[in-house]
A and B are shown apart, each in its own frame.
Chain A
Amino acid sequence: MTVRVLLFAAARDHAGTDAVSVELAPGATVAHVRAALAKQVPGLAALLARSAVAVNHDFAEGGRVLEPGDEVAIIPPVSGG
């Protein structure tokens, strides 16, 4: 299963792109996305450790199982306002 991960702010700058596709086994979780992304884009690893993950526009815990078509995004610590 291919999951496209959206990147914003410093995560986008570190990766040099606004989205990265990661290949995951069926039944993969948010934690698997984190691991795959850190391996695929080592420059993201440090920020990733401080970031949340969103699935379909809601914050998601590491155990959340992904379905094909889910919209996944890395959410670095926010600084709006």
Chain B
Amino acid sequence: MTQETENAGVTAGGELEELLLRMGAGDRQALAALYSRTRAAVYATALGLLQNAADAQDAAQDTFVKAWEAAVRYRPQGSPMAWLLTIARNKALARLRRRGRQQTLSDEEWDAIPAGATVPAEDRALLQRALGALRGDERQIVLLHAVSGLKHRQIAELMDMPLATVLSKYQRTLKKLRVLLEGDDAT
């Protein structure tokens, strides 16, 4: 059964609105606070589309710079996270378009999350497997839901997909992930 769950640790919308309004007034501390609360969600959005850690890092940076520039025009509309992730999605899509058909086959292109001291091996392995095994929409939906705390309805709006499609893809992807992580005996 599908559930619309709010994830632990996800920041309330009212707090983010407040931060965006303060950013609009030029408050850099508000930008730092927004960054710490939404950094993972923005990165997940970019990573889900770009499947490459370095590109996702660049797109995430661009997102926060754009949010800083645009905050002065931000008007409270009830879903600041969706507003921010729309920027992240657009930045990642722009990068995908630029990447176009040209592809440099450096080793890292095949290594979505490069090994490094900062990313625990277990987390890296989980993300590598999820990114490698899931298809485009599935990857984005499950990451957005898990990391951003957006509801399925909001994800459907963000991705411009029917809610029913998002729900069915989410359920199918969860099942696929369970099999991936637990083996064929997963329920």
Q: State yes or no: do A and B come from one complex.
A: no
